[in-house]
């Protein structure tokens, strides 16, 4: 359901930004939301590791699992790095979103050195269909590989005429989407950290 932003909403948001923490009754809503995204990412990473350990070398399966994990990691990052940047949002709401993000970064012991801070993790998966549009418009010639493949991420530089839609470098733990590289080992570690913290917070307060 669409949540209407009224004058009272803006006034409350302004007041909430005057304290250096979130209101305790609100925390559990955020903890469970964070836990959901973190758990989805963890499960996808674990399914990927399981597939590798079982000798599954199907590129479509492996790439899909890593892409799913990174996609959920991108959703997760919004809880900690979101400045409310939207021309449609009132100033008070933008400031509250930024305040909320800052509060949870402190609570989860995160800073801007985190791999989840990278905006491209979020941006690549938003309106992905439009990203594909631009990728194809910009690449009218070359050898196209529309199916996911396993190989070395250095192919992007070494074979520039090759147009890789999705490429997974298993050894270097790197997923390439539309020529954008995502080294996911540190992303995986950060997701596990957030998952552990949010699960414990939800258990204690829930």
Domain map (residue ranges) of the chain: 24-205
The 10s digit of each residue's pLDDT in 65-77 is 999 999 999 999 9
The answer to whether the beta carbons of residues 116 and 80 sit under 8 Å apart is yes
Residue 136: the pLDDT is 87
pLDDT in tens, the chain (206 residues): 468 889 999 999 999 998 888 888 899 999 999 999 999 999 999 999 999 999 998 999 999 999 999 999 999 999 999 887 766 788 999 999 999 999 999 999 999 999 999 988 888 887 889 989 998 898 877 788 889 999 999 988 777 767 888 999 999 999 999 888 999 999 999 999 999 999 999 988 77
Between β-strands 180-183 and 149-150, what pairing exists: parallel, antiparallel or unpaired?
A: unpaired
For the chain, the straight-line distance linking the first and the last C-alpha, in angstroms and rounded, comes to 24
Task: Identify the residue whose tokens are 């799913």.
Answer: 68
Instruction: Tell me the three state secondary structure of residue 82.
Output: coil
5 vs 85: CA distance, rounded Å:
16
Half-sphere exposure of 115 (CA within 13 A, CB side): 16
Residue 20: the pLDDT is 85
Residue 165: the pLDDT is 87
Strand partners, 162: 143
Global pTM exceeds 0.85: yes
């Amino acid at each position: 359901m669409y949540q209407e932003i009224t004058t009272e909403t803006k006034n409350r948001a302004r007041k909430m930004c005057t304290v250096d923490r979130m209101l305790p009754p609100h925390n559990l809503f955020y903890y469970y939301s964070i836990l959901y995204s973190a758990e989805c990412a963890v499960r996808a990473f674990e399914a990927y590791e399981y597939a590798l350990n079982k000798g599954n070398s199907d590129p479509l399966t492996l790439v899909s699992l890593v892409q799913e994990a990174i996609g959920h990691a991108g959703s997760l990052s919004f809880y900690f790095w979101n400045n409310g940047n939207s021309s449609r949002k009132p100033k008070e709401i933008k400031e509250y979103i930024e305040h909320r993000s800052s509060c949870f970064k402190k609570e989860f012991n995160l800073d801007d050195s985190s791999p989840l801070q990278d905006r491209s993790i979020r941006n690549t998966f938003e309106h992905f269909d439009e990203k594909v549009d631009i990728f194809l418009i910009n690449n009218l010639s070359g050898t196209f590989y529309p199916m996911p493949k396993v190989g070395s991420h250095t192919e992007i530089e070494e074979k520039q005429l090759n147009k890789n839609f999705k490429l997974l470098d298993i050894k270097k733990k790197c997923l390439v989407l539309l020529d954008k590289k995502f080294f996911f080992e540190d992303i995986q570690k950060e997701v596990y950290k957030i998952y552990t913290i949010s699960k414990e917070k939800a258990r204690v307060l829930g």
